[in-house]
């Protein structure tokens, strides 16, 4: 990502944070609207806690966009874990669509073509690292939800 894009992502994220829980709620509502089948991946999830994890994760990534050497291993691990939860390649597209829509709703007039392009670049980089890690044939696999250690051996 370009330095200017990172700056725009950080500035717009700072504008979203005061309405973080509302934005995270909107995100999941939109995600489940776009693809209702995704809701099944969250059937046993404490959604208020999940919303906080989402905000924390995005904040963590936004802070480290200019440190790919630090960020890439974390995102790769996250991609492998999401694979274990049943996340598929098509879900990444849906998440990206829901994320950009949510940012547009939360930012209003601050959602400019420049902001959209910067967030698109950020999400493309993030999701690309996660997907490559999840699909790597030699990557250690995270356990699927409910899988025991004996069953995965």
Residue 11: inside a domain:
yes
CATH of the domain at 111: 1.10.490.10
Q: Is residue 142 part of a domain?
A: no
**Tens place of pLDDT per residue across the chain (153 aa):** 899 999 999 999 999 999 999 999 999 999 999 999 999 999 889 999 999 999 999 999 999 999 988 999 999 999 999 988 888 889 999 999 999 999 999 999 999 999 999 999 999 999 999 999 888 866 554 443 333 333 333
Backbone angles phi, psi at 92, to 5 degrees: -65, -40
Residue 153 falls inside a structural domain: no
Q: Residues 85, 144: contact at Cβ < 8 Å? A: yes
Q: What is the pLDDT of residue 8?
A: 98
Look up the domain containing 92 and give its range: 3-136
Task: Provide the number of structural domains found in the chain.
Answer: 1
State the sign of the Cα–Cα–Cα–Cα dihedral 132, 137, 138, 141: positive
19 occurs within a structural domain: yes
Q: Residue 143 falls within a domain, yes or no? A: no
- pLDDT at residue 86, rounded to an integer: 85
Q: What is the pLDDT of residue 83?
A: 84
C-beta separation of 52 from 109 below 8 A? no
Whole-angstrom distance, CA of residue 127 vs CA of residue 100: 13
Q: Does residue 87 form part of some domain?
A: yes
pTM for the structure as a whole: 0.85
Closest CA to 46 of 30, 26, 22, 28: 28
pLDDT of residue 140: 52
pLDDT for the residue numbered 144:
37
Q: Is residue 148 part of a domain?
A: no
Is 119 within the bounds of a domain?
A: yes
The burial of 45, by beta-carbon neighbours within 10 Å (0-12 exposed, 13-18 middle, 19 or more buried), is given as middle
């Amino acid at each position: 990502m370009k330095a200017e894009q990172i700056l725009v992502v950080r500035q717009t994220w700072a504008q979203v944070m005061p309405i973080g829980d509302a934005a995270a709620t909107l995100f999941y509502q939109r995600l489940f609207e776009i693809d209702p089948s995704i809701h099944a991946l969250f059937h046993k999830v404490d959604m208020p806690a999940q919303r906080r994890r989402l905000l924390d994760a995005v904040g963590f990534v936004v802070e480290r966009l200019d440190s790919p050497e630090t960020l890439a291993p974390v995102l790769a691990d996250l991609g492998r874990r999401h694979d274990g939860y049943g996340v598929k390649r098509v879900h990444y597209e849906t998440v990206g669509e829901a994320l950009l829509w949510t940012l547009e709703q939360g930012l209003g007039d601050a959602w400019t073509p420049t902001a959209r392009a910067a967030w698109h670049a950020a999400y493309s980089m993030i999701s690309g690292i996660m997907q490559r890690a999840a699909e790597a044939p030699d990557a250690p696999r995270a356990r699927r939800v409910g899988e025991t250690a004996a069953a995965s051996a």
